[in-house]
Amino acid sequence: MLFRDRRAHAYTRQLIETEVRMSREAWVRATDASDLVHGEVISLRTTMLGQISEIRELQATDRRRSQPYRDK
């Protein structure tokens, strides 16, 4: 009976250690994915802000060109 309990305990310990290892690996993957997504979001935001600035410049140029010429 004691031998059987020892085997069951060893098996339970192995299951718990496997679960701990898998949980740690999942945490690392999730953290890496989060960091990757954060980097992509920052990159897209930077691109978007640059495009907004360019659009505003083009709109200002268009407004200047579309104003009728006034002789002073």
> Which helix or strand (DSSP H or E) is residue 13 part of?
helix 2-66
Q: Which residues form the domain of 1?
A: 1-69
Residue entry with tokens 């994915």: 33
If one counts the domains in the chain, the total is: 1
Euclidean distance between the first and final Cα of the chain, in Å?
Answer: 109
Give pLDDT tens digits for 7-40: 999 999 999 999 999 999 999 999 999 999 999 9
Average pLDDT, the chain: 93
pLDDT of residue 1: 66
**To the nearest whole percent, how much of the chain has pLDDT over 90?**
82
Give the number of other CB atoms < 10 A from CB of residue 15: 10
DSSP 8-state class, residue 1: -
> Rounded to whole angstroms, how far apart are CA atoms 5 and 12?
10
